[in-house]
């Protein structure tokens, strides 16, 4: 259905008058509250919680905007994406990325990696070791019995340097020193976030090293396309352009096989809701406590989406484009409601999902997987785009 500009104006005006009138009525019961909340535009976490001293460095807060009202907030602490406002089908801004109001809250929820930039190696390395150039490398085992998302103090928990900021883009850089967290080589890395004119957030990673090392950077935002605090993500509709996945053992380390999704609950080659098969009796779902699996993307050259997800209440659709060969689909299985998000709601079980574009988990120990080795003279470069529209 098409509305003229004037038509839309009348509808919006009428809706606003009606909802204002509804709000002015004395509250007879608590059901008056949702009407009020519904008419407000979502906001970003406020600046004041992000000016702290962490590891002796002052932290900062930044807001980016594009011409269509899309907005995003960041901090240099962990190069976190703190919130992302996008318009829903009625033009109202929703915050679709879980965030908190202060650095302390991120510190408390560290093991969930909300909104963080992840490195040096995103996802798991089995038993915290691998061999490079014939030498055994030992890492800190922070997710027993494995290393997860960089180890004891990953890129999510350090203060990055801010290199450049414009109205719609920001670049952070970080030098991960030789042997930091056990990894060889001084790794000079950069991450750039850009809000584009077509309502996408484009994330570009770059790194160089002075010794052979491994790199696998990603972003660990949890999305709720109905808006954070609006309940579970189980009715979100998902489609992946992924015919295969990497099945895991009980510690979420890939077995090394690449298997078809066909006939399993991981088959999202046709659209299905997250919740439709999440409770199926299936060994992989049991091991992941839900979805916590790496999908092997059919095509990953930015020419077509690797994933598309739609919020059932808002009609907000997110398409993902990436140069990475894999995507970790995590359905918020470890969320327990222990943290209060921006806006006041708790981070309850499965109220957010992550889609971490990446190389496959445990690649340093799986020679048949695409390599994550970076050598001196090479430049690590990957791009991931989360693009928003309404249906």
The answer to whether residue 253 forms part of the interface with ligand GLA (CB under 6 A) is no
Q: Can you read off the two tokens belonging to residue 326?
A: 């894999």
Residue 231 burial class via C-beta count within 10 angstroms: exposed 0-12, middle 13-18, buried 19 and up: middle
Cα→Cα distances 13→7, 16, 20, Å: 10, 5, 10
Mark the segment that binds ligand GLA (CB under 6 A) among 153-161, 189-197, 303-311, 327-335: 327-335
Q: Does 286 bind ligand GLA (CB under 6 A)?
A: no
- Exposure string (b/e) for 1-22, b if CB count within 10 Å is 16 or more? eeeeeeeeeeeeeeeeeeeeee
Asked if residue 112 binds ligand GLA (CB under 6 A), the reply is yes
Q: Nearer to ligand GLA by C-beta: 185 or 290? A: 290
Applying CB under 6 A, among 61, 106, 245, 330 the residue interacting with ligand GLA is 330
What residues are labeled active site?
Answer: 220, 356
Stretch that binds ligand GLA, among 66-74, 242-250, 261-269, 326-334 (CB under 6 A): 326-334
Which of the 8 DSSP states describes residue 15? Answer: H
Residue closer to ligand GLA by CB (options 193, 330) is 330
Nearer to ligand GLA, 141 or 165 (CB): 141
Q: Which of 354, 355, 374, 385 binds ligand GLA (CB under 6 A)?
A: 354
The answer to whether the peptide bond before residue 120 is cis (omega within 30 degrees of 0) is yes
Residues contacting 147, CB < 8 A, separation 6+: 121, 124, 125, 128, 139, 140, 141
DSSP reduced 3-state for 284? helix
User: Nearer to ligand GLA by C-beta: 113 or 155?
Assistant: 113
Pick one of 61, 106, 113, 268: the residue that binds ligand GLA (CB under 6 A): 113
Q: Which is nearer to ligand GLA, 70 or 296 (CB)?
A: 296
Is 278 one of the binding residues for ligand GLA (CB under 6 A)? no
Q: Encoding tokens for residue 218?
A: 């990603």
Distance CA 224, CA 97 (A): 6
Of these, 37, 334, 336, 381, which contacts ligand GLA (CB under 6 A)? 334
Contacts to ligand GLA by CB under 6 A = 112-113, 148, 252, 292, 328, 330, 334, 354, 356
């Amino acid at each position: 259905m098409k509305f003229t500009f004037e038509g839309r104006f009348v509808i919006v005006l009428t809706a606003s008058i009606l909802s204002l009138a509804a709000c002015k009525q004395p509250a007879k019961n608590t059901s008056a509250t949702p009407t009020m909340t519904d008419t407000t535009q979502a906001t970003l976490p406020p600046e004041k919680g992000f000016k702290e001293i962490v590891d002796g460095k002052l932290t900062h807060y930044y807001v980016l905007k594009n011409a269509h009202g899309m907005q995003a907030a960041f901090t240099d602490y962990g190069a976190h994406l703190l919130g992302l406002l996008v318009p829903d089908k009625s033009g109202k801004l929703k915050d679709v990325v879980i965030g908190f109001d202060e650095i302390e809250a991120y510190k408390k929820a560290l093991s969930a990696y909300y909104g963080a930039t992840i490195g040096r190696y995103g996802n798991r390395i089995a038993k915290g070791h691998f061999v490079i150039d014939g030498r055994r490398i030992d890492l800190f085992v922070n997710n027993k019995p494995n290393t997860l998302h960089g180890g004891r103090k990953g890129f999510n928990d350090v203060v990055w340097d801010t290199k450049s900021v414009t109205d719609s883009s920001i670049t952070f850089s970080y030098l991960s020193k030789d042997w930091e967290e056990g990894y060889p080589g001084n790794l000079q890395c950069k991450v750039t976030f850009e809000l584009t004119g077509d309502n996408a957030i484009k994330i570009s990673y770059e790194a160089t090293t002075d010794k052979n090392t491994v790199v696998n950077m990603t972003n660990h935002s949890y999305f709720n396309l109905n808006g954070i605090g609006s309940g579970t993500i189980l009715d979100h509709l998902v489609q992946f352009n992924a015919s295969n996945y990497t099945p895991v053992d009980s510690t979420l380390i890939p077995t090394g096989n690449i298997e078809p999704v066909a006939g399993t609950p991981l088959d999202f080659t046709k659209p299905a809701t997250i919740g439709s098969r999440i409770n199926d009796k299936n060994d992989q779902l049991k091991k992941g406590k839900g979805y916590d699996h790496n999908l092997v993307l059919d095509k990953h050259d930015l020419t077509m989406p690797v994933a598309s997800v739609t919020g059932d209440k808002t009609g907000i659709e997110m398409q993902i484009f990436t140069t990475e060969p894999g995507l970790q689909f995590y359905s918020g299985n470890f969320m327990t409601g222990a943290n209060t998000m921006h806006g006041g709601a708790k981070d309850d079980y499965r109220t957010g999902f992550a889609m971490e574009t990446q190389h496959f988990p445990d690649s340093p120990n799986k020679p048949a997987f695409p390599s994550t080795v970076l050598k001196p003279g090479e430049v690590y470069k990957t791009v991931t785009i989360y693009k928003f529209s309404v249906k």
